[in-house]
Chain A
Amino acid sequence: MTALLEARGLTKHFGGVLALDGLDLAVAPNEILGLIGPNGSGKTTFFNVVTGIYRAEAGSIIFDGAEISAAAARTVYRVGISRTFQRSRLSLPLSIFDNIMIGNHKHLNQSLWFNLFRRGDFKCEFEASYRAARALVEVFEPALADRLFEPVEGLPMIDRRRIEICRALISAPKLLLLDEPSAGMTHDETKELMDDILLVRERNRNLTIVIVEHEMGVIERITDRCVVLNFGRKIAEGPYRAVAADTQVQQAYLGVA
């Protein structure tokens, strides 16, 4: 079975720091893959390189059969990869609807003529978009569904994270990269969020998810398989149970006794 996303030999330095060290990683279609490892092991850097924010110095990335190693961020989005960020990156002064629509860029008509002079057609597209955004928000937090035109600024952190996920999902991506989605949440909130993600996956069997997490309970519960990174390299992979029992992994997290 061919991998949906395959990274081979990815290498990336930041000044003197080696963030990715010849990383090999493959993501199978339709799976939920957990990406774990101690702080600084390269997980977010991997996301940043895949999504085109940084360019790797060596190695290749193949997505859905196409080479995207040198692709710009917007190209990566267009081929169907979407993400959330470790530090919540929403546009705070904008409304919930606006923030979600930012994620829907490729499905919206961007021509100047359409937007300025075909207002009737624009209104249709706007209303359809509203319904789509609302439907998605209802999955995660029904209470927000009637408040789509409020600014995001006033919302609590957990709602902001939910909206960030909605923004990533609205374009119906093939691959969703979640970077510590449960950061700053309580246990119950995390459980709720994960239930919602699983629900989205239920409805959309074509979705593949890679999730970076520090909460092992989450990893254990929702992932099919894990990859463990340390110092920019993969040190273990397999189902969570197997990986958690691996002594190398334990040493990476806890240090050598």
Chain B
Amino acid sequence: MAAGRNDGRAALWPGVAALAVATGYLIALLAVERPAVVIALLAAGIAVVVAAAWLGLFGRVSAAFAEHENRLALGAVTAAIALAAVFHEDHFVLLLVTTVLLYSVATLGLNIQFGYAGVLNFAGASFFGIGAYTSAVLNTHTAIPHLVVLLIGGLLAAVIGSLLLVPVLRTRGHYAAVVTIAFALLLKTFLEVNDILGGPQGMQVPSMKILGWSFNDNIELAGVSLSFYMNYFVVSLLLLIGAFIVVRRLERSWVGLNLDALRLDETAASCFGLDIARWKITAFLIGNFLIGIAGALFGMVGGFVAPNNYTFADSLILVSILLLGGIGNPWGLVVATFIVVVVPEKLQAIQEYRFLLYAAMVIAVLLFRPEGLLPRPVRRYFPGWQP
């Protein structure tokens, strides 16, 4: 698959078409109820994707995104708003979509650590949970403004993460792996034995209030009734847009180059002046900060937190999203997050099997298509820039 042409300008329409088709498909998928129809839709979706790959259409779409990214990003935001408009009264769908948005922010954070800097983090869900528990504790016991609570959630995840990782960042990758796995296992047990944090049942999280506007009530707008989840949807979308922009700029800068250099060849990178420890730590902190903020917001969206939602297996789901979507490619990540989160919700029958299924899919991807669904293209510092 081509990495995107950089001579002559790629057309815009393949990107627009892809966005339109994807949005329509997603609306359909979210709207249908009966399992048989869902399965039929999924099968059709797979067939279309395979056909598109075979016809080489993915290359055109990649090129369109590479060349016209800013406009297509605007299109994607519009599509998201359209989606929300279609389902403006549906609590379940809005909650699901909001979950996808927040998981996307978390995987974007994981991507900085893993996809760019090559630092393994198998406790992504644990840090997400730290953010959620921060919301629970601070919203219940303090009067700190909720937007600030989000920031604190991010900072806490970053600080705890650095305590964990800094000692082993000088060492080989597998050390970080085992340290994060151990942390994931231990945090769950720690939360379960600590009654102050609610023990195994967890804690309630008071819902979000910004400047007196409570997020818990349905909204009446020009005679149209909107689900109260719309509040959370808007904030989450803004968060995702912000995270996406930060991640994009990070990659398209000397910082992104440093991270790639140290991931691909540490020794050579240090011979050219790179402070390996400093950049690994930076990447890890920024990544965890994003994960923590997303988690803090997620706690408020769901209304309660419990240790069982932030286990090692959940961390592996996040890693699976990264590998399925294409490491290093933020667009691929968002697409993969949608698939991984939405499908088990629509097909309740496979909910129980989702860890097994996703692990098996990742094995297949690693054996046959390690670049993932949407491979990461070569770095273009300014889309559309010609020398």
Contact = CB atoms under 8 A, between A and B. Distances in A.
Interface of A: 51-53, 72-74, 76-78, 82-83, 85, 89, 91-95, 98, 101-103, 105-106, 108-110, 112, 115-116, 119, 122-123, 126, 130, 134, 148-151, 167, 171
28 contacts: A52-B271, A53-B270, A73-B271, A74-B271, A76-B271, A77-B273, A83-B271, A85-B268, A91-B260, A93-B378, A94-B264, A95-B379, A98-B257, A98-B260, A101-B254, A102-B257, A102-B261, A102-B268, A106-B273, A115-B253, A116-B250, A119-B249, A122-B253, A134-B387, A148-B387, A149-B6, A149-B380, A171-B272
B252 to A, nearest CB: 9
Contact of A74 (B253, B260, B275): B275
Contacts of A108: 254
B10 to A, nearest CB: 14
Contact of B254 (A52, A72, A115, A149): A115
A119 to B, nearest CB: 7
Contact of B378 (A78, A109, A134, A149): A149
A72 B270 contact: yes
Contacts of B253: 115-116, 122
Contacts of B382: 123, 126
Interface string B362-387: 00000000000000101111100001
Nearest to B3: A151
A207 B253 CA distance: 30
Nearest to B328: A93
B255 A112 contact: yes
A110 B264 contact: no
A110 B269 CA distance: 14
A94 B249 contact: no
A180 B274 CA distance: 24
A93 B378 CA distance: 7
A93 B115 CA distance: 13
Nearest to B263: A91
B337 interface: no
Nearest to B260: A94
B265 A89 contact: yes
Contacts of A72: 270
B379 A94 contact: yes
Contacts of B265: 89, 91
Contacts of A53: 267, 270-271
Nearest to A123: B382
A153 to B, nearest CB: 10
A123 B334 CA distance: 27
Nearest to B4: A149
A165 to B, nearest CB: 13
B288 interface: no
A109 B272 CA distance: 14
Contacts of A148: 387
A116 B264 contact: no
Given A74-B270, A110-B258, 11 more contacts: A53-B271, A89-B265, A89-B267, A92-B264, A94-B378, A98-B379, A102-B272, A102-B274, A110-B255, A150-B6, A151-B378
B246 to A, nearest CB: 7
10 residue pairs, one from A and one from B, having the closest CB atoms: A115-B253, A105-B273, A91-B264, A73-B270, A77-B273, A89-B268, A74-B273, A115-B255, A108-B254, A102-B261
A112 B286 CA distance: 11
A190 to B, nearest CB: 23
Nearest to B276: A74
A167 B253 CA distance: 18
B354 to A, nearest CB: 31
Nearest to B286: A112
B272 A77 contact: yes
A171 B6 CA distance: 27
Nearest to B275: A74
A51 B264 CA distance: 19
A78 B272 CA distance: 8
A149 B3 CA distance: 11
A109 B255 CA distance: 9
B271 A77 contact: yes
A92 B3 CA distance: 14
Contacts of B275: 74
Contacts of A94: 257, 260-261, 264, 378-379
Nearest to B375: A93
Nearest to A167: B272
B378 A150 contact: yes
B251 to A, nearest CB: 10
